[in-house]
């Protein structure tokens, strides 16, 4: 019996090398006269197939299907669209709270008299443990093993919990630590391009709890990052709801010139698309330039969709997709299925067919030049010759001589010196072309007699163990080792703030001289305060340029003219002297990268880490919460759950807890990085018997709401304008005028029953899809956020946690309205609220004068109204399961 209702009569059979399989034929819609598919973007066709296959006139309606067939490129109808994904992928930082929430839902189900076993993922879920390893040790042959030992010591309790989840929940798999970065594991192993289930074939698609889930778009798979709360809803069988997207086409032609890398290309694309404006839009790449780009190059570009602001950056399936599948050891039957299915469904890229797009941009690959991005944002690309100029301009105030100050004595460091050089992150460590180039630069540098500068913390964090295999096969790892780039771990390390501490002597000199030192990393994020607390200037660069800057030791120079150092023959060595040609890179890849490496590394991958295998499994269908645990606690999301939710009521008497300017990221909001001793979270841990040496990071403690709430808005670079002249998690407690921690003020407000709000400028919540940016905001007592604009994922997450996002009307801002943050606010929201409603906000000034202004309700879909009414996504799902028995 079919698991689908087949309301359009589209079910058909496809013959493949492994036998016949059913599928839902898109051309049936054309035969019914509903519209032509020939010019639809490929990404829209994937959404359409999901709607067609899952159409039941309940979660997915016939009108949803008909609307997508008639997708209007120039002005897509901005209606709600349900999308059911094939699977969900998690990383451990964001995955642990997902599993914690599922465990809490089981506990709540038990308390409500329901069956806890009904709380299980209904689609395949894979959790890859890759965010917990840190660069504690570097520059030695023992770095990898030592870092793994420390990782398991720090995270033992979390890993025990994940092992319980692996056994307790059906349809849930875990890829152990020291395997690789989640997105590379997804690209190389988990993704199928075409998925099969219950005798049906359909496009592989997913959401993930990491914004760089988009990397998989390079393989022709639709997927993007969502908040953990949205991912949990998808895990529980709910569609993800989105407004029908605009699709921006980016035509690529030509080929990269000598000296330019895929990293340079993605930094160029990021700059162009961020400037153009693609937030909440799909970007789809097309043109003859795609034929010159490997899937690894495409994945590098797709990975950084969050940096250029798009929901995803999609590359259609073509012959190069199959080439990559063969390279990575996929089976012949799977490759045959992908080719036959995609060609039959019109999902195969044809060189002479260009889809219709909402807007079209163009880039000649031949114009791409070597570059970096920084020193504070990934979209701020800077050409290699002017890095020094950009550095000096960005930090002019800090670099200016202090009046009356004597030059500090001792030490060798100066402004602009590189103290971190890290080949790290999913963006580049998935790509053999830039990794092999880094190895060849290292080889040529060693042969010239160059060494990394002694004050540079060097590290290599490959995206999977396959990278080590092909480095060894090419004979390049020994040269990287000689320059201090020994492997420090297989995980997402420096790019997420797991750079570890600088050596004591270096850190002390930076502090003593108040130096602006630099990090150069092959990552995708370089926001303030993210990489290392001592490193203010951070630049994204290709892996070979990371090696070059480790040799040069400073960003305050021009690598196209200035020498990297002096060779063993006494002559200066320049970048051009050690840079490999594209032909050298290609020949090395062809000789060193083999399918057998992928097949060997991923065979029985779940059982390859002996330290993981040794961890005992505890608990049954319910997790045994331990009140003494400082890592895992039952969150309070369901403690007041009522079978009948209260009606939505106006927000009255609210005070401002946080008031910020433009471009506040989820890194600023969500607890991330190290925990300071004198912070509310640090004091909490010490009060519970945890020494500072064992604090670990906020990311590692995401399963404990007591820690995470105390760390919300506690980033050392946060500038809360309600506490002017300060940095970090401080605010003014308005009833007394005292400046204190945001957490302590929140507790006082909540004790008096005072609702709280946040005021912000543009692009509020840009950056990673951190669910704790929304969870922590809600647990601090914030009921609404009023901003000039929101980044897509964070807006959705706020609604998913029952927090109301409001947007100033066009042309109005906090400044233009004269708001100081000292007002008392009331928001006229009620049970009749609808998506996009105009809601009146009343601000009562300290003088007694009142100001009324209009805001746009950024609850964007009817389903989100239900989420808001019920207190969040999880409450909505739990109530539905309880109601349906």
Record the tokens describing residue 188, joined without a space. Answer: 């190389």
Spans of the chain, pLDDT less than 70: 1-2, 403-410, 768-769, 885
Q: Residue 766: what pLDDT?
A: 87
Q: Which of 41, 48, 56 is nearest to 6 (CA)?
A: 56
Span 407-434, pLDDT tens digits: 555 679 999 999 999 999 888 888 999 9
395 in Cβ contact with 517 (< 8 Å): no
Span 655-698, pLDDT tens digits: 999 999 999 998 899 987 789 899 999 999 999 999 998 898 88
Q: What is the spatial distance between Cα 428 and Cα 267, in angstroms, rounded to a whole number?
A: 12
819 in Cβ contact with 850 (< 8 Å): no
Q: What is the spatial distance between Cα 601 and Cα 610, in angstroms, rounded to a whole number?
A: 14
Q: Which of 437, 428, 485 is nearest to 458 (CA)?
A: 485
Record the tokens describing residue 121, joined without a space. Answer: 């993922």
Q: Which of 304, 235, 703 is nearest to 522 (CA)?
A: 304
CA atoms within a 13 Å half-sphere pointing along the CA-CB vector of 356: 13
CA atoms within a 13 Å half-sphere pointing along the CA-CB vector of 616: 3
Q: Residue 407: what pLDDT?
A: 52
Q: Give all strands (DSSP E) within 233-325, no chain letters.
A: 240-243, 247-253, 282-286, 312-314
DSSP 177: T
DSSP, collapsed to helix, strand or coil, labels residue 562 as coil
Tracing tokens 């990559």 back to the chain, one arrives at: 324
233 in Cβ contact with 121 (< 8 Å): no
Global confidence as pTM: 0.86
DSSP 731: E
Within the chain, how many helices (H) and strands (E) appear? 32, 32
Q: Where is 661: in which H helix or E strand?
A: none
> Both ends of the chain: CA-CA distance in Å?
24
Record the tokens describing residue 852, joined without a space. Answer: 């009324």
Q: Residue 408: what pLDDT?
A: 55
Q: Which of 266, 256, 294, 295 is nearest to 543 (CA)?
A: 266
CA atoms within a 13 Å half-sphere pointing along the CA-CB vector of 495: 31
134 in Cβ contact with 532 (< 8 Å): no
Q: What is the spatial distance between Cα 790 and Cα 784, in angstroms, rounded to a whole number?
A: 13
Helices (H), 191-243: 228-235
Supply φ then ψ for residue 745, to 5 degrees: -65, -40
Supply φ then ψ for residue 772, to 5 degrees: -70, -15
Q: Residue 769: what pLDDT?
A: 64
Q: Residue 403: what pLDDT?
A: 63
DSSP, collapsed to helix, strand or coil, labels residue 187 as helix
Q: Which of 341, 875, 834 is nearest to 643 (CA)?
A: 875
CA atoms within a 13 Å half-sphere pointing along the CA-CB vector of 521: 37
Q: What is the spatial distance between Cα 363 and Cα 316, in angstroms, rounded to a whole number?
A: 18
Pairing of strands 824-827, 838-844: antiparallel
Q: What is the spatial distance between Cα 357 and Cα 345, in angstroms, rounded to a whole number?
A: 19
DSSP, collapsed to helix, strand or coil, labels residue 531 as coil
Q: What is the spatial distance between Cα 763 and Cα 757, in angstroms, rounded to a whole number?
A: 17
In angstroms, the Cα distances linking 345 to 42, 49, 786 are: 10, 9, 44
847 in Cβ contact with 66 (< 8 Å): no
199 in Cβ contact with 22 (< 8 Å): yes
Record the tokens describing residue 723, joined without a space. Answer: 């506490």
Residues 6 or more apart whose CB falls under 8 angstroms from that of 362 comprise 250, 251, 252, 253, 287
Helix axes 873-883, 862-870, angle to 10 degrees: 90
Domains of the chain: residue spans and CATH? 87-94+121-132+175-343 (3.30.499.10), 371-400+411-602 (3.30.499.10), 636-670+712-883 (3.20.19.10)
Supply φ then ψ for residue 490, to 5 degrees: -105, 85
Residue 7: CB atoms within 10 A of its CB come to 14
Where residue 411 falls (left for φ over 0; alpha for ψ -120 to 50; beta otherwise) is: left
Burial 651-672 (b: 16+ CB within 10 A, else e): beebbbbbbbeebbbbbbbbbb
DSSP, collapsed to helix, strand or coil, labels residue 855 as strand
Tracing tokens 């007592």 back to the chain, one arrives at: 781
Q: Which of 228, 251, 248, 250 is nearest to 240 (CA)?
A: 228
Record the tokens describing residue 571, joined without a space. Answer: 């002559």
Length of the chain: 885
Supply φ then ψ for residue 808, to 5 degrees: -55, 150
Q: Residue 2: what pLDDT?
A: 67
Q: What is the spatial distance between Cα 118 and Cα 105, in angstroms, rounded to a whole number?
A: 10
């Amino acid at each position: 019996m079919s698991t689908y209702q087949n309301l359009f009569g589209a079910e058909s059979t496809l013959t493949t090398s492994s036998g016949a399989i059913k599928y839902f034929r898109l051309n049936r819609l054309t035969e019914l006269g509903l519209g032509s598919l020939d010019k639809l973007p490929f990404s829209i066709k994937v959404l359409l197939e999901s709607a067609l296959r899952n159409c039941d006139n309940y979660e997915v309606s016939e009108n949803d299907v008909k609307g997508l067939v008639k997708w209007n490129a120039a002005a897509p109808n901005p209606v709600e669209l349900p999308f059911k994904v094939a699977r969900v992928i998690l990383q451990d930082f964001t995955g642990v709270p997902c599993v914690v929430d599922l465990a809490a839902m089981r506990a709540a189900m038990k308390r409500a008299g329901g069956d806890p076993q009904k709380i299980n993922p209904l689609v395949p879920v894979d959790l890859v443990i890759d965010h917990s390893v840190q660069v504690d040790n570097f520059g030695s042959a023992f770095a990898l093993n030592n870092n793994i030992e420390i990782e398991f010591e720090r995270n033992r309790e979390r890993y025990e919990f994940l092992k319980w989840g692996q056994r307790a929940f059906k349809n849930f798999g875990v890829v152990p630590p020291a395997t690789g970065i989640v997105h590379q594991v997804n690209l190389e192993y988990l993704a199928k391009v075409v998925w099969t289930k219950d005798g049906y074939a359909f496009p592989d698609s997913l959401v993930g709890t990491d914004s760089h889930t988009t990397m998989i778009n390079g393989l022709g798979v639709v997927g993007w990052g969502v908040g953990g709360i949205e991912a949990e809803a998808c895990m529980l069988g709910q569609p993800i709801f989105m407004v029908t997207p605009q699709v921006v086409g980016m035509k690529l032609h030509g080929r990269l010139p000598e000296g330019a890398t895929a990293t340079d290309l993605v930094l160029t694309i990021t700059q162009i698309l961020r400037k153009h404006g693609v937030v909440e839009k799909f970007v789809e790449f097309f043109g003859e330039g795609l034929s010159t780009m490997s899937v690894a190059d495409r994945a590098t570009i797709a990975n950084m969709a969050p940096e250029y602001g798009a929901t995803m950056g999609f590359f259609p399936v073509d012959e190069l997709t199959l080439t990559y599948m063969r390279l990575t050891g996929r089976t012949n039957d799977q490759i045959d299925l992908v080719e036959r299915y995609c060609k039959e469904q019109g999902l195969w890229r044809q060189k002479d067919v260009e889809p219709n797009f909402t807007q079209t941009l163009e880039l000649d690959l031949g114009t791409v030049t070597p570059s970096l991005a920084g020193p504070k944002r990934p979209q701020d690309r800077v050409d290699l010759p002017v890095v020094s100029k950009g550095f000096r301009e960005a930090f002019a105030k800090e670099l200016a001589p202090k009046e009356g100050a004597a030059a500090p004595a001792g030490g060798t460091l100066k402004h602009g010196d590189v103290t971190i050089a890290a080949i790290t992150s999913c963006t580049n460590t998935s790509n053999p072309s830039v990794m092999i180039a880094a190895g060849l630069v290292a080889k040529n540098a060693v042969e010239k007699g160059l060494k990394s500068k002694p004050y540079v913390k060097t590290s290599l964090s490959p995206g999977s163990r396959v990278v080590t295999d092909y480095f060894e096969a090419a004979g390049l790892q020994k040269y990287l080792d000689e320059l201090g780039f020994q492997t420090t771990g297989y995980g997402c390390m420096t790019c997420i703030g797991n750079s570890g501490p600088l050596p004591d002597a270096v850190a002390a000199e930076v502090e003593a001289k108040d130096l602006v030192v630099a990090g150069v990393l092959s990552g995708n994020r370089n926001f303030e305060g993210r990489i290392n607390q001592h490193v203010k200037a951070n630049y994204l660069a290709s892996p070979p340029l990371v090696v070059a800057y480790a040799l040069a030791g400073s960003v305050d120079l021009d690598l196209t003219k200035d020498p990297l150092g002096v060779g063993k023959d006494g002559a200066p060595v320049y970048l051009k002297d050690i840079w490999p040609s594209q032909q050298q890179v290609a020949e090395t890849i062809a000789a060193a990268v083999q399918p057998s490496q992928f097949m060997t590394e991923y065979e029985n991958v779940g059982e390859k880490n002996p330290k993981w295998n040794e961890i005992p499994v505890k608990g049954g269908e319910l997790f045994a919460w331990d009140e003494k645990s400082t890592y895992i606690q039952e969150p309070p999301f369901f403690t007041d759950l009522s079978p009948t939710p209260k009606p939505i009521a106006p927000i009255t008497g609210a005070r401002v807890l946080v008031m910020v300017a433009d471009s506040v990221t989820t890194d600023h909001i969500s607890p991330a990085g190290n925990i300071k001793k004198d912070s509310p979270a640090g004091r909490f841990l010490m009060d519970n018997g945890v020494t500072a040496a064992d604090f670990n990071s906020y990311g590692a403690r995401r399963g404990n709401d007591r820690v995470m709430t105390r760390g919300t808005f506690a980033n050392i670079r946060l500038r809360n304008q309600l506490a002017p002249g300060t940095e970090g998690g401080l605010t003014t407690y308005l009833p007394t005028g005292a400046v204190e921690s945001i957490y302590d003020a929140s507790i006082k407000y909540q004790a008096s029953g005072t609702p709280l709000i946040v005021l912000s400028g543009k692009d509020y919540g840009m950056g990673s899809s951190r669910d704790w940016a929304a969870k922590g905001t809600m647990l601090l007592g914030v009921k609404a956020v009023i901003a000039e604009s929101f980044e897509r994922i964070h807006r959705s997450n706020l609604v998913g946690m029952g927090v109301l996002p409001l947007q100033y009307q066009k042309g109005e801002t906090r400044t233009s309205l004269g708001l100081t943050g000292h007002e008392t606010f009331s928001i006229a929201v009620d049970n009749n609220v609808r998506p996009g409603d105009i809601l009146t906000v009343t601000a009562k000034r300290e003088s007694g004068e009142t100001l009324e202004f209009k805001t746009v309700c950024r609850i964007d879909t009817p389903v989100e109204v239900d989420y808001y009414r019920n207190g969040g996504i999880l409450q909505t799902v739990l109530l539905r399961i309880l109601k349906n028995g």
